[in-house]
Each structure stands twice: as structure tokens, then as C-alpha cells.
A = this chain, B = another copy of it.
């Protein structure tokens, strides 16, 4: 292996830059050349390559977003576009790829591998933490702390006005952000897709809360909650409990940005190095994750198809902590 390429794809996550930096520096450390591909698979198809030197990644470890940019590129499902992308890589002399992203990113990489055999290793970069094969994904800890900071601020105003807030956080298919930010923020209730809830339970819980000395009440709702979104649930609660002062806050895209936390920077650095070392060692078609604080390579198949379970014991904690 003489020259590798690195790219980011899918939704951006804080720490992607730290991972890009680690890939570049680890490649140089091991005597490889390295190029960046701008805007993921789109840039691969457009031959949007930029040579990366050590200084290309100076001082980016603390930046949110991704200097290599990301983009949707549905055309990549079409083998003709994948072929074009592959040929661009060959022309550029690229022997291996490091793909930083989530499920969709790895699916693209897997198809490219299967069609053309270019060695590829993935690094799990998504705030949602919904990837099998790693305890945490790059960006998750930062997103949780961003959501927590917002919940703390909402608690200030909720407590001042004795209000109920439904706070919607990201997580289309998974409740990891909701669960962690909810417990951290002392939420009175947390609604996630992994755990069946009903409107009646939410309302019962609100009624119970009303008798306590502390009448402010925060319910964290994951984007993918099956009852409905925060607005819908809040509306139902208002109808059932018209005396309560109920508000909704949807945290939205702030959860994707910001300077990465220590954990995300270290995680991203470890994974980036592991991806390069894996490629050199002849690994491919795998994701470089961290399980129980050790590097672990998981096949793209498993990373894509297996479901990472949410620890439901955490939900039990919510009940205990609100006693």
C-alpha cells in the first residue's frame, strides 16, 4: 500500500476532523501518501481530490464539522457512478480508502469493495451512536453534552415558571442521545423508540410530578419516538392536563455542531489510526470501532445490519432518580 484516501460522508459529526487528522498523520507516520476526497462519494465521482500534508490538518482537532465536507449522492447506488469513482481512484493511484460516516457511508463502501475490490476501512462517525461494533461513535459524546447544556438552560426557565417542557433531541432510529442527555439533565421522563410508551403513561407520570414540591418537569423525546414527535405528544398532554403550562423545544441542528469533547477527539484519533494500521495489515471491508476500550474491527455487514441495543437498565434509573 502506497497511497490512501480519506473522506467523510453522511451527516457530519463533531470529531470527524480529528479523525481525518489522525488518518493523515498515521498515513504519513507509516510512509504512505494520503489524499482527501471532498464531499464523500460525490467527490470521488468528480475526482475532487486534494493532497494532504501534515500541515493540512494542523489545528483542526478542535473544529466541528468536516473540512472535507459531506454531501448526499444518491447516484452512488448506480454501478456506473461507482465505476467512475473507482476509476478516478485508480487514476489517482489510491490503494486504500478510509470512509468516515455511518450506515449509508458503509453501505456505499461495501458495494464499491464488492464491485472493484479496493480495500476500505470505515470509522464510525455519527452523533446517533446507532452503529453495531463500537461502544461509542464519533460525535455522540459531544452531541449529548450539547443537548445536556440545552436541557440545563431549559430547566432554568422551566423551574422559574413551574413549566413542563417536552424537549426533542436527535436520534431517528435510536434513543441514545435522548437517554444520556435525559439522565444527565435530570429529566422526569424519557421517551425513546427502543422502549414502548403510551400517551397515558406520559400523562400519568406528569400527574404524579404535579404533586411534588418541584413542579417543573422535563420530558426528553427522541426524534424517532414511536408515539409521535414532541409537538404531537405535548398537544395530547395539553388536552389531558389543561392546567399545566406545557411547552415544546426542538433542539435541532445545534446537536450536529460544536467543538468536539475530549472523548470524541480521542476516540476519533484512535479510530483513525486503527483504520490506517488495519489497511496496512491487509484488513478491509470492516469498521474500526472501540469495544471495552480496545480497538475492534467489525465487518461492514455486521456494522450495517446488526442493531446496537440500548441499555434498558438506564430507563429504570430514570424512575429511581425521580423518587
Contact A156 to B64, CB < 8 A, known contacts A269-B321, A323-B28: yes
- A to B CB contacts below 8 Å, 13 in the list: A22-B320, A25-B320, A25-B323, A26-B320, A58-B214, A59-B155, A63-B156, A66-B160, A135-B293, A153-B255, A153-B256, A184-B266, A261-B261
Q: How far is the CA of A292 from the CA of B135 in the complex (A)?
A: 10
A157 touches B71 (CB 8 A): no
**Partner-binding segment picked from A107-115, A142-150, A199-207, A280-288:** A142-150
B263 touches A65 (CB 8 A): no
Q: What are the residues of chain B within 8 A of A66 when measuring CB–CB?
A: 160
**Partner-binding segment picked from A86-94, A236-244, A245-253:** A245-253
Q: With an 8 A cutoff between CB atoms, is A234 at the interface?
A: no
Q: How far is the CA of A26 from the CA of B319 in the complex (A)?
A: 9
Contact A273 to B320, CB < 8 A, known contacts A69-B160, A70-B161, A253-B154: yes
Q: With an 8 A cutoff between CB atoms, is A82 at the interface?
A: no
B261 touches A145 (CB 8 A): yes
Which of chain A's residues 117-149 have a Cβ closer than 8 Å to chain B? 135, 141, 144-146, 148
Contact of A152 among B55, B154, B259 (CB under 8 A): B259
Q: What are the residues of chain B within 8 A of A214 when measuring CB–CB?
A: 55, 58-59
B269 touches A317 (CB 8 A): yes
Q: With an 8 A cutoff between CB atoms, is A183 at the interface?
A: yes
Q: What are the residues of chain B within 8 A of A273 when measuring CB–CB?
A: 317, 320-321
A262 touches B321 (CB 8 A): no
B249 touches A252 (CB 8 A): yes
20 other A-B residue contacts (CB within 8 Å) besides A12-B157, A152-B258, A273-B320: A12-B161, A14-B156, A26-B320, A29-B323, A61-B184, A65-B159, A70-B160, A144-B262, A152-B257, A153-B256, A153-B257, A154-B257, A155-B257, A157-B257, A165-B253, A183-B269, A184-B265, A248-B252, A249-B253, A261-B261
CB distance from A318 to the nearest CB of B (A): 10
Q: What are the residues of chain B within 8 A of A270 when measuring CB–CB?
A: 317
Taken residue by residue from 183 to 213, chain A's Cβ proximity to chain B (1 for < 8 Å, 0 otherwise) reads as 1111000000000000000000000000011
Which of chain A's residues 6-42 have a Cβ closer than 8 Å to chain B? 8, 11-12, 14, 21-22, 25-26, 28-29
Contact A25 to B321, CB < 8 A, known contacts A59-B214, A257-B155, A266-B184: yes
Q: How far is the CA of A63 from the CA of B252 in the complex (A)?
A: 24
Q: With an 8 A cutoff between CB atoms, is A1 at the interface?
A: no
Q: What are the residues of chain B within 8 A of A212 when measuring CB–CB?
A: 54-55
Contact of A153 among B144, B157, B248, B254 (CB under 8 A): B254
CB distance from A262 to the nearest CB of B (A): 4
Q: How far is the CA of A220 from the CA of B9 in the complex (A)?
A: 27
Q: With an 8 A cutoff between CB atoms, is A278 at the interface?
A: no
Taken residue by residue from 49 to 67, chain A's Cβ proximity to chain B (1 for < 8 Å, 0 otherwise) reads as 0000011001101111110
